Structure 1
Amino acid sequence: MPIPDPAAAERVVVIGAGIGGLAAAITAAARGLQVTLVERAETPGGKMREVAAGGALLDAGPTVFTMKWVFDALFAEAGTSLEDHLELERAETLARHGWTDGSRLDLFADPACNDDAIGAFAGASEVPRFQAFRQDARRIFETLKDSYIAAQRPGPLELTRRAGIPDLTAIKPFASLWSALGGYFQDPRLRQLFARYATYCGSSPFDAPATLMLVAHVELEGLWRIRGGMHRLARAMSSLASDCGAQVIYGCEAAEILVERGRTSGVRLANGEVLPAESVIFNGDAAALSTGLLGRAAGRAVPGMPVDKRSLSAIVWTLLGRPAGFPLQHHNVFFSDAYRAEFDAVFRQDRLPDEPTVYLCAQDRDEDDRGEDRSRPDGDERLYLLVNAPPRGDRHPLNSEEIEQCAERAFALLRRCGLEIEPRPDTMQATTPNDFHRLFPATGGALYGRASHGWTASFQRAGARSKLPGLYLAGGSVHPGPGVPMAALSGRLAVERLLADSTSRRRSFRAGIAGGIWTRSATTGATD
């Protein structure tokens, strides 16, 4: 009797239809595994949410789409292309930045336009400093792209070997981003602008390593807009997973990861149904596992994370309104005059900042400052505002008074920068750390997993393989980190690790069983 090939019939349950889980489902199904994806929400996307306001749909999660090559590879493996499913437009203007002194600076996809803009904004002497910064940011990204970002998680020594660098100082992990930027820029506004990229990882620029300069390179290299909104990406990925043969089930909550003889055996749903599986890919915050929300056995599969290591949370307002005074672009950032105090409040004092920096996505704006959807009879625009907040939604939930005061401070900053917004009151919705904790349990509202504070933080994120054989991890809380493309990469890395382990088990069957009787191996795997 021939020995069955375990990988050929391997059943995989993916928990969570965020971007990491969707990428894992697409990759696993495209490689011939039997995939069931379960999601407790009624729609895909996870943090890539969409909300309704006044008859309009608004993105209420990530609004920036970069590293398109990640999704090109994902869709190509499934036999299609990103452009077959979505209408994309490369942005010429990346973002508009405003300060309370009335100054403004746009960043562009065209390097020559950036040089001209920075020279006009801060003086000719800052142009070569910006060019040096951009060159070093590119060098860090190119050093880490294949050796770290798109690869299974290494340790520090393994990283230096993979990257071909003599020591870690080449990627600037030992200085803070804020201090490193002081060596590039003399204009404090430029230092503040490029320090903001630490928040893309949910971190403070005063504590995050200068390695995060690479985030600026990623955005300067190219930013795309998805016609219809970012949520279209999640829907396209969900459809592609189904086209590849995955069974995708919404409104279906996973209650427990089941274990038999030391490895995963399936998933028990909240309704009591059991989905048998040889492997499980968990696409949720790793804290949900370590706190035991999916069973005691799975809780021992990943290390716990101290509350004080959590990343940023946020308060997000979605609304319809009429902006005036400041010429908005699609992406806009309005900077606080008290930048260090903002991060001290969130990370050291566990409270909302007195003067928060405000990110504003004007979702109807095109390159010419005109609205793509101004035909709406009421003339309102779809607006998304975000301010940083402490991840305390499970310990000290914000009350209505605190939320209202934060909104007043945010809108006051906008007015000081020259922007007036007349919101339609019946459309304005706030999503707070309390809400994010409810949507993403065990996080306290932290949106990016562990904060990237200190040079070892990135190595402390879990890798694709957990301590429990057969349980694999995806999502923004694990390697290679937070952000839409990083989450997609994590899903692909989880499947690659799963398949490598399946091959290892298959070899152990062939080496150890001569009589043709197939039994499941009890071989255990080490944590990444």
Structure 2
Amino acid sequence: MSTVVESHSATASTHTHPDAPHAVVIGSGFGGLAAAIRLGARGYRVTVLEKLDAPGGRAYVFRKDGFTFDAGPTIITAPFVLEELWQLCGRRMEDDVDLRPMDPFYQIRFHDGEVFNYWADVEAVRAEVARFSPDDLNGYDAYMADSEANYRVGFEKLAHVPFSSWTDMAKVVPDLIRLRADRSVCGLVAKHIKHPRLQQVLSFHPLLVGGNPFRTTSAYTLISYLERRFGVHSAMGGTGHIVKGLVGLIEGQGNVVRCNQDVQQIRVENGRATGVQLASGEIIAADVVVSNADSATTYRDLLPENARRKWTNRRIDRCRYSMSLMVWYFGTKKRYEDVPHHSIILGPRYRELLDDIFDHKVLAEDFSLYLHRPTKTDPSLAPEGCDTFYVLSPVPHMESGVDWQQQAEPYRRKIEQYLSQHVLPDLENQVVASHMITPLYFQNTLSSFRGAAFGLEPIMTQSAWFRPHNQSEDVDRLYLVGAGTHPGAGLPGVISSAKVLDRVVPDAAIIKGAP
């Protein structure tokens, strides 16, 4: 394997030298774009290859009839991880991206219409807790203290550790034992909170990163404190505007993002990644290859089988994968002024529905939803007097056997009817633009194994050292970023995965001097 360079800081760079070592980045999701910026700042000449016709990956943008729809991530937390990328280029993020704080962060709506407003102000949240259950106030404070403790370890100490060796894992075991990381998110919440609806309010966050709250390690309760400390934000112009800004940073370094470039294979010679071959037949040589593609797909489909020892097909097949999603994007010819920016709509079942999605892998009759109305904050995303929405429903991944070509439209109509009756009156007569994606999109368009929307499920035995490593265990000079590697899914996680590269990718000068 290549020499590991311990932690060092990338410094601002302008244009990379044409004779600099070449890094190829497969995929232009947030992880891939962040990796390109960091490598460019360290003197690499970088080419980003994107299969779709525009950058962004899961953060692709759909446009239809004057409506702008962010395809995927819409909740921006920990904006400092983005700001750091601009700083590496000697620029300020606020010159390119306008982030607006959300208040409330979310409105959680129960099936009978009762709501919990998750306000930015902690005392306002405590008042909401007291409105549901005064006896849980002390428990809420204790839960937030545990959330902060998990943040201090899980994010501040571990998010940028490469976990390339079992010794990296051994160093953190005492912290994980002390924090009871073997317990689930729901288990930790239930330790402090007794009211069943408050338990749901405080435990839904793993679903935002592909996890089952009843199985996801309690380390992920750090999200509650992360949001409390840094807020929840939305980008004016949509999340796609952040992607545009990141691409601008890459181009400002003298590097390139090439779209409509389908990578078919990572080329390996003598155990070392030497470049990629495109579907067109073009071969692009590289000194370093970084894959922002799904980790299972990277090993299973992009690498020759004889180049793999650890991540064999059998091991990949035996892993547990996140749920998938059905997302309906729609524009209305009227505005629904009372609907907040972010709504979490919980169905009549909680654990039972999650069992259906993650374990039984059946498409249930009921559902829980995330409803996104960005025009609450940014009316420019729709024609005047109109609203832009998307509604997301967690569903089982493709191992379920659901025929989405047949089931997608009936399922969409069921959701439309529910929203019309309970949240968006007369919706069926107001829709003027419509687009939908299903697990087939994640499988066929985004090349996610089994159509899992977030890669590997974030359970304890698939976290940190147990996930596919940022520095490939199988192939020298191959590196992984994105949701399927450490630290995991979610915007802060995938951007942090690129920061790990600073500790495992050799400096450009070392690569240049290598035989």
Taking structure 1 as the reference length, what is the TM-score of the superposition? 0.87
Q: Does 1:477 align with 2:484?
A: yes
Residues of 2 paired with 1:375 and 1:271: CA distance? 37
**8 Å CA contact 1:326, 1:419 repeated in 2:** no
* Length, aligned pairs only: 494
Q: Secondary structure at the match of 1:320?
A: strand
Q: Secondary structure at the match of 2:257?
A: strand
Equivalent residue for 1:288? 297
Residues of 2 paired with 1:168 and 1:429: CA distance? 43
Equivalent residue for 1:452? 458
Q: Secondary structure at the match of 1:291?
A: helix
Q: Note closer, same or farther for the CA distance 1:375–1:357 as it changes in structure 2 (3 Å cut).
A: closer
* Match 2:360 to one of 349, 356, 359: 349
Q: Does 1:130 align with 2:140?
A: yes
Q: Note closer, same or farther for the CA distance 1:273–1:495 as it changes in structure 2 (3 Å cut).
A: farther
**8 Å CA contact 2:42, 2:508 repeated in 1:** no
Residues of 1 paired with 2:200 and 2:260: CA distance? 43
**8 Å CA contact 1:153, 1:480 repeated in 2:** no
Q: Note closer, same or farther for the CA distance 1:67–1:404 as it changes in structure 2 (3 Å cut).
A: same
Equivalent residue for 1:219? 227
Q: Does 1:491 align with 2:502?
A: no
Residues of 2 paired with 1:446 and 1:480: CA distance? 17
Q: How much does 1:96 deviate?
A: 0.7
* % same residue: 24
**8 Å CA contact 1:8, 1:32 repeated in 2:** no
Equivalent residue for 2:12? none
Letter in 2 for 1:363: P
Q: Note closer, same or farther for the CA distance 1:454–1:34 as it changes in structure 2 (3 Å cut).
A: closer
**8 Å CA contact 1:7, 1:499 repeated in 2:** no
Equivalent residue for 2:341? 330
Residues of 1 paired with 2:431 and 2:151: CA distance? 44
Residues of 1 paired with 2:417 and 2:217: CA distance? 32
Residues of 2 paired with 1:435 and 1:494: CA distance? 29
Q: How much does 1:239 deviate?
A: 1.1
**8 Å CA contact 1:174, 1:455 repeated in 2:** no
Letter in 1 for 2:483: G
Residues of 1 paired with 2:234 and 2:437: CA distance? 23
* Match 1:240 to one of 246, 249, 260: 249
1:81-111: per-residue Cα shift (whole Å, max 9, x none)? 2112111112232011111222111112221
Residues of 2 paired with 1:251 and 1:492: CA distance? 26
Q: How much does 1:224 deviate?
A: 1.3
Residues of 1 paired with 2:334 and 2:308: CA distance? 48
Equivalent residue for 2:93? 82
**8 Å CA contact 1:301, 1:468 repeated in 2:** no
1:357-394: per-residue Cα shift (whole Å, max 9, x none)? 1100011113xxxx7359835x331011000011107x
Q: Note closer, same or farther for the CA distance 1:491–1:249 as it changes in structure 2 (3 Å cut).
A: same
Q: Note closer, same or farther for the CA distance 1:380–1:421 as it changes in structure 2 (3 Å cut).
A: farther
**8 Å CA contact 2:326, 2:392 repeated in 1:** yes
Q: Does 1:252 align with 2:258?
A: no
1:187-243: per-residue Cα shift (whole Å, max 9, x none)? 111111222111122111111222221122222221111100001111110111110
**8 Å CA contact 2:31, 2:498 repeated in 1:** yes
Letter in 1 for 2:81: V
Equivalent residue for 2:7? none
Letter in 2 for 1:269: L
Residues of 2 paired with 1:230 and 1:111: CA distance? 26
Letter in 1 for 2:383: R
Q: Secondary structure at the match of 2:496?
A: helix
Q: Note closer, same or farther for the CA distance 1:142–1:362 as it changes in structure 2 (3 Å cut).
A: same
Residues of 1 paired with 2:157 and 2:507: CA distance? 18
Taking structure 2 as the reference length, what is the TM-score of the superposition? 0.89
Equivalent residue for 1:407? 412
Q: Secondary structure at the match of 1:382?
A: strand
Equivalent residue for 2:443? 437
Q: How much does 1:495 deviate?
A: 4.5
After superposing the two structures, state which structure 1 stretch, 479-488 or 214-223, moved more: 214-223
* Match 1:49 to one of 60, 71, 77: 60
Residues of 1 paired with 2:148 and 2:443: CA distance? 35
Two-structure CA RMSD over aligned residues (Å): 2.7
Residues of 2 paired with 1:82 and 1:448: CA distance? 27
Equivalent residue for 1:526? none
Q: Note closer, same or farther for the CA distance 1:196–1:14 as it changes in structure 2 (3 Å cut).
A: same
* Match 1:172 to one of 180, 196, 201: 180
Q: How much does 1:450 deviate?
A: 0.7
Larger Rg: 1
Q: Note closer, same or farther for the CA distance 1:240–1:266 as it changes in structure 2 (3 Å cut).
A: same
Residues of 2 paired with 1:272 and 1:400: CA distance? 32
After superposing the two structures, state which structure 1 stretch, 268-277 or 19-28, moved more: 268-277
Q: How much does 1:439 deviate?
A: 1.4
Unaligned runs of 5+ in 1: 1-5, 507-517, 521-528
Equivalent residue for 2:75? 64
Residues of 2 paired with 1:223 and 1:300: CA distance? 41
1:114-147: per-residue Cα shift (whole Å, max 9, x none)? 1122223x13222222111111101111122232
Residues of 1 paired with 2:329 and 2:311: CA distance? 35
**8 Å CA contact 2:147, 2:224 repeated in 1:** yes
Equivalent residue for 1:3? none
Residues of 2 paired with 1:143 and 1:32: CA distance? 31
**8 Å CA contact 2:420, 2:427 repeated in 1:** no
Q: Secondary structure at the match of 2:450?
A: coil
1:9-39: per-residue Cα shift (whole Å, max 9, x none)? 3211111111111011111111111111111
Q: How much does 1:170 deviate?
A: 2.3
Q: Secondary structure at the match of 1:348?
A: helix
**8 Å CA contact 1:359, 1:387 repeated in 2:** yes
1:99-178 equivalences in 2 (<5 Å): 99-120=110-131, 122-153=132-163, 158-159=168-169, 161=171, 166-178=174-186
Residues of 1 paired with 2:74 and 2:249: CA distance? 21
Q: Does 1:276 align with 2:282?
A: no
**8 Å CA contact 2:333, 2:432 repeated in 1:** no
Q: Note closer, same or farther for the CA distance 1:298–1:34 as it changes in structure 2 (3 Å cut).
A: farther
Residues of 2 paired with 1:430 and 1:374: CA distance? 18
Q: How much does 1:459 deviate?
A: 3.3
